A and B are shown apart, each in its own frame.
Chain A
Amino acid sequence: MANLFWRSRGLALATRRGLCTSAVEEQKGKGGKAVNLFSAINQALHIALESDPRTYVFGEDVSFGGVFRCTTGLADRFGKHRVFNTPLCEQGLVGFGIGLAAMGNRAIAEIQFADYIFPAFDQIVNEAAKFRYRSGNQFNCGGLTIRAPYGAVGHGGHYHSQSPEAFFCHVPGLKVVIPRSPREAKGLLLACIRDPNPTVFFEPKWLYRLAVEEVPEHDYMLPLSQAEVIRQGTDITLVAWGAQLAIMEQACVEAEKDGISCELIDLKTLIPWDKETVEASVRKTGKLLVSHEAPITGGFGAEICASIAESCFLRTCLFWQLEAPVARVCGLDTPFPLVYEPFYMPTKNKILDSIKATVSY
C-alpha cells in the first residue's frame, strides 16, 4: 500500500513524526527500491557526478561520506579531486563554490548544518545571488547548489535545529528548495543542481533516516517553482514544506475524523514560489493555514499569508474568497530550545486547534 513510511528505528522521535501518509501514496512514478532520504540524496549526487564531468561535491567532512552519510562512496567513485573536504569555513567554501561555478562548473557545496550557514551569508546574498544581475549576464554562478540539513531533530538544541529559510527567501536571485521525502529529495536536488541559477537546498535532517520510500533508480528531475497538492480537500488549505508536511498530514487525518476536509499543499520551492497553486486552492476552500518550524515573526509563512490576503480578498474575485483570517502555526519567537523543543514546535494538535478555529470562524 504505502510506498513511504516513517521508519521507527526505536527512536522516540519516530512516534512524534507519525507513520505513513496518504499524501505520499498519491505520488507519481512509483517503483524503485525503498530508500531513506539520505540515500536518495546520495543517489542524486552519484547521478550528478556521473552525468556531468564538470560537477564537484565539496564541504566539511564530505570525503568520508559526511556526518549524515549523504556523500558516502562519492570520493571513491569519482576521485578526491571532484569530491573533497574543504577547510572548516563556510564563507570560504561558498566563495570557492561561486568561483568554481563561474567557470562553468556545477559546484555542489555542503554546509554541514543550516545553523552554520551564516558565515557564508554575505557570499550567498551579495555574491551568488547578484552575480548574474550585476554583470548584465556576462557572468553567472548558476551552477552553484548549496545543500544544508535544516530543522528540528529532537535533541539538536540551538545550533543543530534551526530553519533559516526565510533569510534566503528575501534574496532575489536565489532559489530556495526544501523536499519532503526521499523521492522528492532526489528529483528536486537534481533539478537544483542543473538549474542555471544558484540554489539553496535545505534537507530535513529529521527525515534523513526516518523517511523511507520507493525511489526510482534512474535519473529524473522534479520541476522547481511548482507546488503540489498532496491531499485534496474542500474546507481549508494547508501550506507547508519539508519535514512539517508529515505533521500537517497527521493533522489532516485527525481533522477528517471531525468531518473537516483539508487540502494540503507542499510548496517545495520557496522562492520563486508557486502562488497560483496556493491561490487556486484558497479560492476553493476559502481558508488558509501555513505552518513552519521557523519562528513565526518574519517567517516565510507571513509572505504567503500576506500574498494570499492580497490576491484572494478581492471583491471582483469570481471564485471563493477568504472567509476567515489566515492562520499561522509556527515555531516560537525564541531561539530553538533543547528541553523545551516539544513546546516550541508547531505540533499536530496546535495545527488541529488552528484548523478547527479557522474552519468554524
Chain B
Amino acid sequence: MGVWFFARSSNIARQLKGQVGQGLLGIWRFGFSFGEIRPTHYSDLGDSGTLFSIRRFESAKAQKRIDDEEDRVLDFPGGRVTCNSQMAFIPESPEKQTLQCYRVLDDNGQTIVGSKFKEINEEVAIKMYSDMVTLQTMDTIFYEAQRQGRISFYLTSMGEEVISIASAAALSMDDVIFPQYREPGVLLWRGFTLQEFTNQLFGNKYDYGKGRQMPIHYGSNKLNYVTISSTIATQIPHAVGAAYAMKMDKKNACAVTYFGDGSTSEGDFHAALNFAAVMEAPVIFICRNNGWAISTPTSEQFRSDGIAVRGQAYGMRSIRVDGNDALAIYSAVHAAREMAINEHRPILIETLTYRVGHHSTSDDSTKYRPVDEIDHWRKARDPVTRFRKWVEKNGWWNDEDESALRNDVRKKVLNAIQVAEKVEKPPLAELFTDVYDHPPSNLCEQERLLRETVKRHPQDYPVDVPV
C-alpha cells in the first residue's frame, strides 16, 4: 500500500512524459473525459454500438481490423484474455433471471420430485427436530425472562432455527465455528446444555465468559465454537486464518463462519472472501440473508442479486439455498464441506430466510415493517413446521412425541433459569484476569485500589459479586 518510492515514481512519470509526450496523455484523457474533448470524428454518433469502438483510433493510425490471433488475445499479469472490438459493458444484473435457489422440501414438507439431496437417517432427523424445538422453547422463555427483567438482553433465532441446526448437523465436531450471534443452534447441536446457555445469560460464576459480555455471547472451547463478539463481520477473516491453519495442519476439518446480510457490506466480509480464495482456505461462509439488518432492508443494503453471486467474482464456488428448508441446507453444507476439505477451497452459501423475531429485545420491528409480513413468515413459512411435516411423513414423529418434547424442554429451561439465577456472580478478581495471560503491575495496583474503595463504599456496588 502507498507510494513509498514516490520520488522514483515521479521521475519515471517525467521521463515517460518526455518520451511519449502528448500522445500517451492524450489517449488517457480520451478514454476518461470524452465529454470535454470530443474529436470531430465522434460526431458520427448515429452508429450506435460502435460509439467507443476501435474507430476512435482511426485518426491516429491506419484502419486495422482485429483479426489476427495476436490482436485477439492479450497476455496480462493475471492471465490471457481475449479481446473484442465491440464495447460491451457487463449488465448490472443477470439478463434472464435472478440466481436460483436450491430447494428440496416444499411448504408441505414433501420432497420435490427429482430433487437431489443428502439422505438423513431417523436418528439424525429426530435430533435435528428436537434441537429446533428446544431452540424455539429457549427463545420463547428467555425472551420473556428479559421482559420480566431477569436477564438484561436477549436475541432470538425465530424463523432461522433450521439454518444453524441443519448446517451444524452436516458438519463434524472438529470443524471450528466462528459464529455471529444468531446461531445458538450450532451450540445446541454440539451438546451445549440448557444450563450452560442459561449460565451465560445470567452472567453467573459458571459462565465461561466470566460475566464479561452481554447475554447471548456464548462460546465453548470444548465444542469448537469461538466466543461471539458483538462487532459485525469481524469473525469472518478469523475463520479464514483458522481454515488456513487447519489446511497446514492437514486436519480433516474446515472452518465455518456465519453472518447476516448486513455483514456483507462490511469490509471484513470482502477482505475475508478475497483472502480465502487467494489462500485456498477450507472455509465455509454461511450467510443468513434474512432480509433485515435491524431496520435496514436488503434493498438499502446492496444492489447485487443477493450474496451468492459475489462468490464468483472472488473466485469461489457459491450456492443459494432456501434457508427455511432443512434438507436443502443440510445437503448444501455437506457438499460444501467435502469440497472445502478435499479440494482446499472456500465455499459461499447464501441462505434465503426471514428474521421473524425482532432484531433483539432492544428492538420493535413493527416500527419499520408490516405486521402482516412477519405473520406470513411466522405461520405460512415456518421452517421448523416444514421440517416436522417431513419427519412425520417418514413416520418418525407424531403428536404425542411433540407434546412430550415441548413439555419436557419447557420444564428444563425453566429449571435452568431457577438454578442459574441463584448462582452468584463471578468474583471481583475476575475483572482483572485474562486481559493478559498474567495481570501486569498496573492492573494489580488498580485492583488493590478498587478493593479499598469497595470497602469504603460498599453501598455503591452490587451485592451479588463476591469481593
Contacts and interface: CB of A to CB of B under 8 A. Distances in A.
Interface string B436-452: 11001111000000000
Nearest to A90: B1
B192 interface: no
Interface stretch (B69-77, B204-212, B335-343, B373-381): B204-212
A140 B435 CA distance: 10
Given A98-B237, A197-B437, A103 B4 contact: no
A95 B240 contact: yes
Nearest to A137: B434
A127 to B, nearest CB: 5
A119 B207 contact: no
Query: Which residue, of B3, B249, B440, has the highest number of chain A Cβ atoms within 10 A?
Result: B440
Nearest to B439: A272
A105 B219 contact: no
A153 to B, nearest CB: 10
B271 A91 contact: yes
Contacts of B279: 84, 86, 96
A81 B239 CA distance: 17
Interface stretch (A107-115, A248-256, A328-336): A107-115
A10 interface: no
A89 interface: yes
Contacts of B272: 92, 95-96
A95 B1 contact: no
B238 A95 contact: yes
Contact of A119 (B210, B212, B240, B267): B267
B245 interface: yes
Interface stretch (B98-106, B115-123, B224-232, B357-365): B224-232
B241 A107 contact: yes
A102 interface: yes
Contacts of A115: 2
Interface stretch (A128-136, A211-219, A228-236, A285-293): A128-136
Interface in B236-295: 236-246, 248-249, 255, 267-268, 271-272, 274-275, 278-279
Contacts of B255: 99
Interface residues on B, range: 35 or more
A103 B246 contact: yes
B227 A139 contact: yes
Contact of B2 (A139, A159, A197): A159
B394 interface: no
A102 B178 CA distance: 11
Contact of A197 (B209, B212, B430, B436): B436
B234 A126 contact: yes
Contacts of A81: 248
A81 to B, nearest CB: 6
Contacts of B296: none
A127 B231 contact: yes
A60 interface: yes
Nearest to B241: A99
A225 B440 contact: yes
A155 interface: yes
Query: Which residue, of B3, B237, B279, B437, has the highest number of chain A Cβ atoms within 10 A?
Result: B237
Contacts of B7: 155
Contacts of B398: none
Interface in A10-66: 60
Contacts of B434: 132-133, 136-137
B432 to A, nearest CB: 10
Contacts of B249: 103
A91 B237 contact: yes
B165 interface: no
A179 interface: no
A139 B219 contact: yes
Contact of A102 (B217, B231, B238, B271): B238
Given A101-B241, A155-B7, A134 B229 contact: yes
Given A67-B4, A87-B274, A134-B212, A95 B437 contact: no
A159 B441 CA distance: 35
Contacts of A123: 234, 237, 268
B264 to A, nearest CB: 15
B2 A112 contact: yes
B278 A87 contact: yes
A197 B436 CA distance: 6
Contact of A173 (B226, B278, B436): B436
A89 B274 contact: yes
B241 A98 contact: yes
A273 B234 CA distance: 29
B230 to A, nearest CB: 9
B176 interface: yes
A322 interface: no
A104 B226 CA distance: 13
A222 to B, nearest CB: 17
A318 B3 CA distance: 54
Given A99-B178, A99-B242, A272-B440, A139 B1 contact: no
Contacts of B231: 122, 126-127
Nearest to A141: B238
B84 interface: no
Query: Which residue, of A88, A89, A104, A126, has the highest number of chain B Cβ atoms within 10 A?
Result: A89
A342 interface: no
B433 interface: yes
A67 B237 CA distance: 25
Given A92-B275, A134-B227, A173-B435, A113 B1 contact: yes
Given A272-B440, A275-B441, 9 more contacts: A87-B274, A89-B275, A96-B240, A99-B237, A100-B241, A100-B244, A112-B4, A133-B212, A273-B442
25 contacts: A67-B4, A82-B248, A87-B274, A90-B1, A91-B237, A91-B267, A92-B237, A95-B268, A96-B272, A99-B237, A100-B241, A103-B176, A115-B2, A133-B212, A135-B219, A136-B208, A136-B210, A137-B433, A139-B226, A140-B437, A197-B437, A225-B440, A272-B440, A272-B443, A275-B441
Interface of A: 60, 67, 81-82, 84, 86-105, 107, 112-113, 115-116, 119, 122-123, 126-127, 130, 132-140, 142, 155, 159-160, 172-173, 175, 196-197, 225, 272-273, 275-276
